[in-house]
Amino acid sequence: MFSHSAAKTSPGEQSSEALLLRIFNDFAINVMSIPNANDLLWYVAQNVVGKLNFVDCVIYTSNLDETILTQAAALGDKNPFGRSIINPLKIPFGQGITGRVAQNREAVIVEDLLHDKSYIPDTKPARSEICVPMIFGNRVVGVIDSEHPEPGAFGQTELEILTTVAAMTSAKLELLEETERSARRYHDLVDAHTRLTREINNRKALEAQLFEARRLEAIGRLSGGFAHDFNNILTAVSGNLDILDEVISPRDPEVGECLAAARTASKKGAALVRSMLAFAQRAHLEAEVVDIRELVDSTLDWSKRVLPDSISVRIHLSERAWPTKIDRSAAENALLNLIVNARDAMPDGGRIDIRIENVSVMASDPEARMLQLEPGKFVRLSVSDTGTGIPEHQLQQIFDPFFTTKPAGEGTGLGLSTVFGFMQQSKGTVAVDSKIGEGSTFHLYFSAISPM
């Protein structure tokens, strides 16, 4: 029956039950579309006081541990400020009427608060109170509470109404939580997927890098063995040429010419052997302490001759470079190789930027893994050009011995392979960045020694 005594106004007896059903029906439909818990609780409080005719309504929600109730929505005389609860009341489970209802999970009607010792009056003491728990599954999600200035204002009808409201509200609350949980799960899943994709891509790049390193190592071993044997043959050839030179006299000009040509050829062969031994990391290196800045200056001094006026050179150095211990002439030769390549990539002129930087490579740096560098301190010498750039598919090949895109007679394809071998043998490495039409940058990583 809907003739509850807490009603401010009482609808006609006959239609009251039908009216109540309609109110609940509307309530259920509206509740379905409410998107969040806060809106839901305020909507419920509004309807308890509004359509359901209670004089006030306070809703508390409980924490996950079910130890504390927190005021979440309040409507009626006590809260004239609308939807803002500046300092929400917190009540421990078991304390006061609401706390007891939450703990015992049973609704309570207090006929006269004057006789209830556990009543905690707030702004305006009331005489009667009704409080029902909101339970879902195994959890107390909160309580709905209403007070009345008159004693004995609440009966069975009010109990039924509030219990129905509490059931609908807690079901919706649970639904909202589940929605939020699955949104979170979805989010976590997307995160995990993104991480995994990144890992896989990293891994693929690393595998490609490793494959590349192994491939170069294999070619290196092969050409190293070959160069070594070939060198022995060349030694025999040039030794015998020396002997011939001495025994053939007086000189026959024609024989002399033949001898000179043979000697030139054997010198070329020796240079070839040197390049291949360098690539195979079997060059004879003599390390000394070298300041990379000085090395750049001296190399530029004599390499200017190979650069046309249409190409300008700039040096960038922000701090004193850490010292390195390397073979000076091999390092000069490496830098010269990069400068000559940069020149060849800029037939119409352009700019060469030489940058010297101190870099600390940590084990965790992706750079360290990609470059297969032992963690430590390095002086990075970078040579950038504004030339043609290198096509992606050629980047894998440029360090191979004899790989060249230059016309026969112009390129030997031994420049970068020598640079690669020398850098590896010196406990450093070489890396390249390039963009078609924009230019290329070659980075030489020289292992630094602690300053003296």
Ligand X SMILES: Nc1ncnc2c1ncn2[C@@H]1O[C@H](COP(=O)(O)OP(=O)(O)O)[C@@H](O)[C@H]1O
Q: Which residues bind ligand X (CB under 6 A)?
A: 337, 341-342, 345, 385, 387-388, 390, 398, 403-406, 411-413, 415-417, 440
Nearer to ligand X, 25 or 310 (CB): 310
Q: Which does 133 bind (CB under 5 to 8 A by kind): ligand X, Mg ion, none?
A: none
List strands edge to edge, sheet with 350-361.
Answer: 311-317, 350-361, 376-385, 439-447, 429-435
Q: Which residue number places its CB atom closest to ligand X? A: 415
Residue 141 · residue 171 · CB < 8 Å: no
Q: Which does 281 bind (CB under 5 to 8 A by kind): ligand X, Mg ion, none?
A: none
Nearer to ligand X, 234 or 345 (CB): 345
Q: Which does 398 bind (CB under 5 to 8 A by kind): ligand X, Mg ion, none?
A: ligand X
**CA–CA separation, 179 and 416 (whole Å):** 60
Question: To which residue do tokens 């309530």 refer?
Answer: 27
Nearer to ligand X, 177 or 353 (CB): 353
**CA–CA separation, 152 and 113 (whole Å):** 9
Q: Write down the least CB distance from residue 208 to ligand X, Å.
A: 19
Q: Write down the least CB distance from residue 357 to ligand X, Å.
A: 19
Residue 417 is given by DSSP the state H
User: 309: which residues sit within 8 A by CB, 6+ positions away?
Assistant: none
Q: Which does 98 bind (CB under 5 to 8 A by kind): Mg ion, ligand X, none?
A: none
Q: Which does 404 bind (CB under 5 to 8 A by kind): Mg ion, ligand X, none?
A: ligand X
Q: Which residue number places its CB atom closest to Mg ion? A: 415
Q: Write down the least CB distance from residue 416 to Mg ion, Å.
A: 6
Q: Write down the least CB distance from residue 204 to Mg ion, Å.
A: 30
Q: Which does 406 bind (CB under 5 to 8 A by kind): ligand X, Mg ion, none?
A: ligand X
CA distance to 47, 194, 205, 335, 403, per residue, from 197 (Å): 50, 5, 12, 38, 34
Q: Write down the least CB distance from residue 307 to Mg ion, Å.
A: 14
DSSP states of 126-148 as a string?
-SEEEEEEEEETTEEEEEEEEEE
Nearer to ligand X, 434 or 447 (CB): 434
Residue 178 · residue 184 · CB < 8 Å: no
Q: Which does 107 bind (CB under 5 to 8 A by kind): ligand X, Mg ion, none?
A: none
User: Shortest CA distance to 381 belongs to which of 451, 312, 331?
Assistant: 331
Q: Which does 342 bind (CB under 5 to 8 A by kind): ligand X, Mg ion, none?
A: ligand X
In the complex, the residues that contact Mg ion under the rule CB under 5 A are 341, 415
Dihedral of CA atoms 108, 111, 113, 119 in degrees, nearest 10, equals -10
Nearer to Mg ion, 128 or 337 (CB): 337
How are beta strands 128-136 and 108-110 bridged, if at all?
antiparallel
Give residue 40's identity as a one-letter amino acid code.
Answer: L
Q: Write down the least CB distance from residue 440 to ligand X, Å.
A: 4
Q: Which does 387 bind (CB under 5 to 8 A by kind): Mg ion, ligand X, none?
A: ligand X
Question: To which residue do tokens 């490609």 refer?
Answer: 208
Nearer to Mg ion, 275 or 324 (CB): 275
- Burial class (CB within 10 angstroms; exposed 0-12, middle 13-18, buried 19+) of 97: buried
Q: Which does 447 bind (CB under 5 to 8 A by kind): Mg ion, ligand X, none?
A: none
Nearer to ligand X, 349 or 411 (CB): 411
Q: Write down the least CB distance from residue 302 to ligand X, Å.
A: 19
**CA–CA separation, 270 and 289 (whole Å):** 28
**CA–CA separation, 278 and 430 (whole Å):** 14
**CA–CA separation, 449 and 452 (whole Å):** 9
Q: Write down the least CB distance from residue 253 to Mg ion, Å.
A: 37
Nearer to ligand X, 165 or 390 (CB): 390
Q: Which does 152 bind (CB under 5 to 8 A by kind): ligand X, Mg ion, none?
A: none
Reading the block at residue 209, the tokens are: 């890098």
Nearer to Mg ion, 174 or 344 (CB): 344
Nearer to ligand X, 76 or 415 (CB): 415
The H-or-E segment that residue 400 falls in is none
How many residues does this entry show for the chain? 452
CA distance to 54, 335, 383, per residue, from 62 (Å): 23, 72, 66
User: 336: which residues sit within 8 A by CB, 6+ positions away?
Assistant: 299, 303, 306
Nearer to Mg ion, 73 or 352 (CB): 352
Q: Write down the least CB distance from residue 361 to Mg ion, Å.
A: 27
Q: Write down the least CB distance from residue 306 to ligand X, Å.
A: 12
Q: Write down the least CB distance from residue 434 to ligand X, Å.
A: 7
